[in-house]
Every structure is written in C-alpha cells, then in structure tokens.
Amino acid sequence: MKKIAFLTPLHPQKTGIADYAEEMLPYLRASLGEDFQIDLFVDNCRPNGKDVLANHQIFQLDEYDARRDEYNLTVYQMGNNPFHFKIYELALRYPGVVILHDFAIHHIVAAIFLEQKKDEVAYFDEVGYSHGLDARNKAYMRAANGELGLWETDAVDYPMNRRLVERALGAVVFSQFAKDRLAAYGCSTPLHRCYLHCGGKAALCTPEERDMARKRLRIQSRADEIVIGVFGFISPAKRPYSILAAVARAMKKTGKRLRLFYVGELQPTCSDLSREIKKLGLENQVQITGFTSSEEFLDYLDASDICISLRYPTMGETSGVLNRALSRGKPSIVTDIGTFSELSDNTVAKIGYGETEADELESALERLLIDKRYRNTLSKNGLQYAVDHLQIADTAADLAAFLKKAVWAADLEKNELYQKVRDKLLQNCQECCRTDDGVLVPLAGRLAEIFGGDAV
C-alpha cells in the first residue's frame, strides 16, 4: 500500500481550493486505485464533508511532522491566502508535489516575513533570491517611500514562487501560462500542466434547469429579463465597480431588463459597493448575496444567462468559477490577461484592462444582449471546451498519473542502491559526453535526464 499525505483546506473553510479538493478526491481515489491511500491534513479545522469523513483519515497539520515518515509522497495544495501559511512552510521543509492554484503567492510570502517574522530585511533578501537584485532594490524603495508593496501592484511579475518550486519533487499548474513561467527558472523540478476541473460532467444547462434554479433561489424574473452573475469573493481584483457601471449603461442603452447578482462574500476593500448600487438607483436590479453554500452557489450559476469573470491585477490563477460556467454553456466575459488569454476569442468574450475596461465591458455586454447568434456561439464553444478538457474524471486521471510517477521517483530517492547506481551512471555519462561517439553521447544525455543529472 502506497500512502499519500494530502495537505489542503477543506470545508467549512471558505476557499475555492477546499471546493476543488472535496470534488476531486473521490475521482482521484478511483484513478489511483486500491493500492493507494490518501490521508488528509488540515489547519485548525474540523472537516464536515461526508465523503472525506467516510473515506479518509484526517489529521491536523501540526501532526504532520510526527507522521511524515509514514508516507511515500506528500501533496501540498498551495494558494495565495492565509489558509496556506503552514502548508507553504512545510513544503519548503519537506519536499513533495506542489499543486500551485495561484501562480503568484507573493501575498502570503510577504505576510510570513513582514507580519509573522517581522523581518523586513529577510523579505527583501527573499525577493532578491526569487527575482534578482533589481527586484530587491525595487521592493526596498517601495517600503522606504511608503508606497504599495510589489504584491499589491505587480504580483504576477514577482510571484515569489521560485523557492517553493525549486524545493518540490514536482509541481502541478493549471495553465500553460504558469508552466512556461516556471520553466523559465531553469530548475530541474518536473512540471505538469493539468486542467482545472469544472466540478463534474460538462452538460448544457437547459431552460428548465435554469428556471428551477431561479425558483429555488426565489428569483422572480420576467421572461424577457436577463440575469448576469459575478461569482466568488468580491474584491477589487474582480472589478465589481466597473461591472456595475457597465451593466447600468448597457441597460440604459439597449433597453433590456437586467438583473445582476454578486454571488460571494463582500471584502472590506469593497464595503461601499452597496452605496454605489443605491447611488445608481439599482437596488431592485442588483443584489449582493453574501457567502453562499455550495448548492446555492451552483444554483446561482444555473440561474444566470451571462457570467462575468474579470481579474485585474491577476495572480496568474485559473478560474474554477469560469470553468464551471463554461461547462454549463454560460456565455462569459473575461479579462484578456494571464491564463484567461489562453481561451480562444470564440470561446469567451475578452476585454482589456486599464482605462478602457468599463467601456470595453459595456460593448461586450451589449453585443451579448443584442446578438443571440453570438451568445449561442460562445455557449456552444465554451461547453465543447469543457467537454474536451475540464471534466473531473479526466482531470483526476491526469493528476493521478503524475502523482504515481512522483511516488515512484520519491521511493527511488530513498533507495541507497539506486543512489549509488545513479551516481555511477551520471559519472559515466559525463565521461561519455566528452567523447565524439554518435551513439553514446545521445544515450548518455538521455540517461542523465532520466536520473536527474547534467551530462553536458
């Protein structure tokens, strides 16, 4: 029996990574097979999911140190929020496979050094290690001048993930954008791009399913009313004010009846959003739901005719909400940045960021409201993309295959005989590569690649 330690947030913790874990684990178990056992480690949390309670042993992160030798591999679910402080520090101490949900983790690295350790110099040094002397100087000057930190303005350019990835036995990312950026570090850590699942099986949301969802949510809407959904924690990066302005103008310009739902918890940095809604006289058309259960969240998604998923600045993340929307055939508008740019122009409607954001969003929204053929095209193509790439059973099988390879590699690293043979082979490979043999040189290079060495 091979044992995997899986360090992750779980419900009732309010994070999308908990959603990802609880949805993925049943399929991951099935793909790994009966020869694997997955134990879960959580941070100061009492999980309440039926599946995880029935099928996994669950421990606290503080117990991991004492138990880590029981496991063939450790998997670290890594995000850019406080649920991952301890996970980050354990991943540096005990290498395993890192699932990097947010490409940029500068926020938590800065918080660890500046808030927890109170060591500003060590933070500047860490910036220098990850991104060079110029970046270190820039971070220092920002602090000296009382300006916003790099994590607040340029996190995707200074993601602070280098040490984490270099220490890992493997890293899983959810976009080519993230994989290419990590590869640029030049480290030997195996990188794997896995698609972020859509939460289940991709299937078009029928008009009947949409109407039933609205009934469960007590949304009273006329037949000609179009419902727009914005999902997830409401923060400035989700561009809620630009969305509000664009919806208000599109409603006036097209004459269409619209309802706008912000489905998620309002962050303190957006505390005046309700006042802006009232100022525009849209109290009857716009609603902030607050945090919802998973069931209500999915009902709001089904109840929507159009979804808006904007990001600026981006953390290089892949949006699980967007993937869910595509899997239900919901026409969606996104920011043309980072991972979102990988989607084709006939799969989602893309808008720019910066000064033209609200105007471009208004134009994109108006086209979706007026042009039914275009709306249907995005719905069809988005659904097909989800069928091809995002179905949970397929993504779980892909992840399981990578984890099996990582278990094999980790077991080899613990084998003394393997280490001796590897070292001897690498020595011979280096000697072979100094010769001019057309057969030995390629073979030596391949052996060196397999065993993690450098033959040139």
All structural domains of the chain with their residue ranges: 2-105+161-193, 207-390, 416-456
Q: Specify whether the CB–CB gap between 173 and 191 falls below 8 A.
A: yes
* Two domains, one topology: 2-105+161-193 and 207-390: yes
417 pLDDT band, cuts 50/70/90, is: low
* Cα–Cα distance, 44 to 48 (Å, whole number): 13
pLDDT of 452 above 80:
no
Residue 107 CB neighbours (<10 A): 20
The confidence score (pLDDT) of residue 423 equals 72
438 pLDDT band, cuts 50/70/90, is: low
pLDDT in tens, 121-177: 999 999 999 999 999 999 999 999 999 999 999 999 999 999 999 999 999 999 999
pLDDT of 402 above 70:
yes
Residue 27's alpha-carbon distances to 33, 49, 152, 327, in angstroms, are 10, 15, 36, 18
pLDDT of 455 above 50:
no
CATH number of this structure's domain 207-390, picked from the four choices 2.60.120.620, 3.40.50.2000, 3.10.310.10, 3.40.50.2300: 3.40.50.2000
* Cα–Cα distance, 389 to 437 (Å, whole number): 43
* Cα–Cα distance, 259 to 239 (Å, whole number): 17
* Cα–Cα distance, 339 to 314 (Å, whole number): 9
Residue 211 CB neighbours (<10 A): 15
Average pLDDT over residues 108-118: 97
pLDDT of 456 above 50:
no
The confidence score (pLDDT) of residue 411 equals 82
**Residues contacting residue 432 through CB under 8 Å, at least 6 positions apart:** 440, 441, 443, 444, 455
The confidence score (pLDDT) of residue 419 equals 66
**Residues contacting residue 308 through CB under 8 Å, at least 6 positions apart:** 228, 229, 230, 243, 332, 333, 361, 365
The confidence score (pLDDT) of residue 201 equals 92
410 pLDDT band, cuts 50/70/90, is: confident
Q: Specify whether the CB–CB gap between 165 and 290 falls below 8 A.
A: no
* Cα–Cα distance, 138 to 123 (Å, whole number): 12
β-bridge pairing 73-78 and 58-60: unpaired
- Where residue 13 falls (left for φ over 0; alpha for ψ -120 to 50; beta otherwise) is beta
pLDDT in tens, 17-39: 999 999 999 999 999 999 999 99
- Is CATH 3.40.50.11930 the right assignment for the domain spanning 2-105+161-193? yes
The confidence score (pLDDT) of residue 424 equals 73
* Cα–Cα distance, 14 to 254 (Å, whole number): 37
pLDDT in tens, 28-84: 999 999 999 999 999 999 999 999 999 999 999 999 999 999 999 999 999 999 999
Q: What burial class does residue 238 get, using C-beta atoms within 10 Å of its C-beta: 0-12 exposed, 13-18 middle, 19+ buried?
A: buried
